[in-house]
Every structure is written in C-alpha cells, then in structure tokens.
Amino acid sequence: MSDVHELLDTWIANATDDELLAELKAMKEAGDEDAITDAFFQDLAFGTAGLRGTIGAGTNRMNIYTVGRATQGFANYLNENFENPTVAIARDSRNKGELFVKTTAAILAANGVTAYVYPKISPVPTLSWATRYLQCSGGICMTASHNPAPYNGYKAYGPDGCQITSEAADAISAAMNATDPFADVKTMDFDEAVEQGRVKWIGDEVLDAYYDAVLKCSVCNLTEEQSAAAPLKLVYTPLNGTGLIPVTTVLNRAGITDITVVPEQKDPDGDFPTCPYPNPEIREAMQKGIDLCAEVQPDLLLATDPDADRVGVACQDGDDYTLLTGNEMGVLLLDYICKMRAERGEDLADKVAVTTIVSSAMVDALAQEYGFELRRCLTGFKYIGDIITGLSDAGQVDRYIFGFEESYGYLSGDHVRDKDAVNASLLICQMAQYYKLQGKNLVQAMRELYEKYGYYHNRTISLSYPGADGAAKMAGIMAALRETAPEEIAGAKVEAVVDYVDGVNGLPKANVIEFDLEGGDKAIVRPSGTEPKIKLYIFAKGADAASADAQLDAIEEAGRKLLS
C-alpha cells in the first residue's frame, strides 16, 4: 500500500470533522487515484507567505488539521522567542475563514498565546495595522488573496507587521514537521477561551485609528475650491470581498462621496459568483464594473481584491474602458506623490521609493527626474516592508515616500508593512481629482508620461504546471535554464544572465533568473512561491506603444517556448 493510501486511512481513523470525514470516505470508496494522490502527495508548504491551497481533506489541502498543525508550529515558535506572546488574527470573505480563525485562536489560547481577533471580515492591511497597534508578537490573516473561490490561505506576520522572515518561516516549518496534526495539537473550546480572556475581540477603536492613519497619508494639495471644481464620480467594486466598508469610509471622510457600488459584487461572498478569478488585474473580474460605468459615466472604476490589499483601475478610453496595469498605476502614483511633495517645497533628494526587480524600468526615469533614491528588492511586499522597517529602525522612516509591486500592490505610508488597497484607493482618487482639474483622466495622464519618458511596456505571463508532477516539471525547467542559458531570445542577443539563486546586490537568495537583452529589453523567470506556476516577466521600451508591444509579443512567444 502506497504512502498516500496509508495517509488516507490515518485521516479516516482520526478525523472528527463530519464534512472532512465524508469527503475522505468518498475518496476511498471511489478509488480515485488521482484525487487521493493530489490530496496527500505532499504537505502544504509553509513559506514566508504561510499556507495557501484549495479547501478540502488531505495534507495538501486547507482544512482544520493543516491549519491546526501550522498554528501549533507557530505557537511553539512564539513561545520560544517571546515572553507572554500575543497574536492578531483576521480573515477575508473566503469560505471556511471563520472556522479557520476560531480553530487558530483556540489552539493559540491552549498554548498560552493570547489571540486578538477581528469579529468581522477585515482587509489584510488592517491585520498588519492591528499587529503593530496592539504590539503583538505576530499576526495571522486567513486569505488566499485573489485566488479562485476553492482556495483559502494562512498568512503569518511578524511583530513589525511584515509577513514573517525566511528564518521565522523555516523555524515554524521545522516545528510543524515535528507535529502530528491529530496527536500533537493542543486546543480548547473557543467560547471558553473567550470567557477566560485568552481570546479577545478587536474593538472598533483599532479600525478607527487605522482610518486616521490612512487619511494622514494624503498628499493632496488641492484647495476646497479646487476640489469642489473637480468633484469625483466613482464606480467601485469590492469584488465580493472585504473592501466595501474601509474603502468607502476613508473616501467619504476625505470628501469623496459620489460612489456607486457594483451591486452584484457588493456583499461578501466566498464563492465569488460573478468571476472565476476575483483579481482586479483581469478584465473579466472588472467587467460588471465596466458595464455599470456605461450607465453611470464615472471618472474612474476602482476595484479591490477580496482581502483589499490590491487595487485596480479602469478609465474611459474612447468607446471602451482601458485597465491601467500595476506598473502604470505605480508610476502614476509615484509621479503624483513627487509632484505634490515638490509643490510643498520638500527636498526629494533625501527620499526613498521602493519597488521590485520585476517592476517597470520607467521608475528609474522618475528617480532621475525627481532625484529620489530608488531601491529595488525581491518580489513580495514583505521585502518592501523590510526596507521600511530598516528605515524606521534607523530613525529615518520619514524618508520613505512610496513602494509598489507590479502585481497591483501599493503603499505610501509606514502605518502598515504590507500593501494597502485602502491607502492606495485614497491616493488614486485624489490623483484623479488633480488630473480632472486639468481636463484629463488617469489613462490620458499615463499616456503623457509615456510621451515624456518613453514607452516602457511590461507584461506578466503565468504558466501553470498542475498536479503531483507539476513541481518536478517546474524544478526541471529552472535547472535547464541554469545549465544551458539561451544565447538569444526573440532574435536579440542575451547580453547578461543574472541568477538570484546565490543573492545579487545584497538581496536574499531567490529562485529567479534574469535575461538582459541587447537594446535594454529583458525577461525574468520566477516560479511562484504559492501556486504551481512559473511567472515570466517581460520588459520592452519602444519609440511608441505599437513598437513596444511588438517587442513584447516576440519576447513572449520565445519565452513560452523556453518554459514549455
């Protein structure tokens, strides 16, 4: 009998959750080898992003036992490294979120770790905020970001409000590996833990303080008269996630009140019935909002993902609506922040902006224009958060002005250490008002920046490698690229190969390979740390939009062949 079948029998013998037990028995009775293998061929990996996987029975699934095992490992780590440890916990609108939160809080409580729990769904940035505000030893958010409905996840945070360090993740993972999910996990009744004060509810005052902190991030220089002359009309969709209350609260307090919410995507719903991928990067997720825009005729469409750490924007462009990319919005926001600060007479030479190695090269042109220091880090907002923390520890946090990822994540303040769609939504709307006074929308403003700095175009392609053999195939592709790097890509000579596996320019080690092409274009290959995908990031600069896109098309075609 194979290992997966032994594990299946062990789970059937020990699982007490009726729903999971029924799923396990059905799996065994059906004799579905593919389903059994996929459910048990590996443990969900615990990395710096924590856990993420589809909901269901098995070691490779999100359920109360895999969540319990991770939490026991986290509790062991906290008790070894902190005196009287505490943890803040939140969840987004995903299915099983409340169950996983209560499971986690009860296990922490049984291990002597006090849990502070948001009583309602709440965005990722509010979890980072609560961890810092309540001076907790760590934080946990039940979220799978913008993944499809079958997914949930478990994001772990350190006391600085950043996703945990690699060292902490390794220590927690080691503790997990020594933990039997059925025999070694300490727990207690959740309601008893609340009664005993081992689990405490996070009060409204914490959220109110967060809203105040976000509003302090405003860089708007418009007078009341100017704002009145450019009233903003907005269509907004929280994509059935957590953004509705925090985003509209902050915008209303900033005087932006003409907000039409997409009705089909207004209420929290873990099934995300209007789109398979609740991701504002994808037009399909934005389509309900675009349809409503045809009726409302707003200045822009704003969309936040389920855990409200990412935000996407579309604006009218002729007869249609154009979606701004994450790179474009990052460039627009950084340019706007620099303009507003310069108007106030601030010296930008002392300021620091942060982005990632896979973000637009156009940011370098902005750094040259405005004179700020640009720092690039690895992919993952935790690395941007680490830089903010480093500045804070050095007493220089006021130098930080903005950080962004190409994957629609932005942050302009030091109030949290993760991307913040509530903060970004405020900045985007105020920036839209600034440009509205000049008679243009954000798409038109971006085109002006292209005309000024050059057409820096980017594209991200995700290639999937599902199933039990997917991880092995991904590893084989990366090994082959390292062993025999291509001499040319899309007819352009590969002038340099930068392999981040051993660390580059002081950055941590990473499974990333960069191919620098003659003429300044490049391609970067990076396996996802949370999904069975390899991401291909491609960059081209052209004399105009059409030539830049043509170069991207050629690099994409060659890249897909390399990764097949």
Q: Indicate which residues carry an active-site annotation.
A: 145
* Phi, psi dihedrals of residue 148, rounded to the nearest 5°: -60, 165
Q: What's the Rg (C-alpha) of the chain?
A: 24
- Report d(CA 17, CA 222) in Å as an integer: 57
- Report d(CA 90, CA 153) in Å as an integer: 12
DSSP annotation string for 271-327: T-TT-SS--TTSHHHHHHHHHHHHHH--SEEEEE-TTSSBEEEEEEETTEEEEPPHH
- Report d(CA 351, CA 372) in Å as an integer: 5
- Report d(CA 286, CA 305) in Å as an integer: 11
- Report d(CA 162, CA 138) in Å as an integer: 9
Q: Which of 157, 108, 155, 112 is nearest to 131 (CA)?
A: 157
Amino acid symbol at 463: L
Cα first-last separation, the chain: 34
Contact yes or no for 120/68 (Cβ under 8 A): no
Element spanning 101, H or E: helix 97-110
DSSP annotation string for 195-213: HTTSEEEPPHHHHHHHHHH
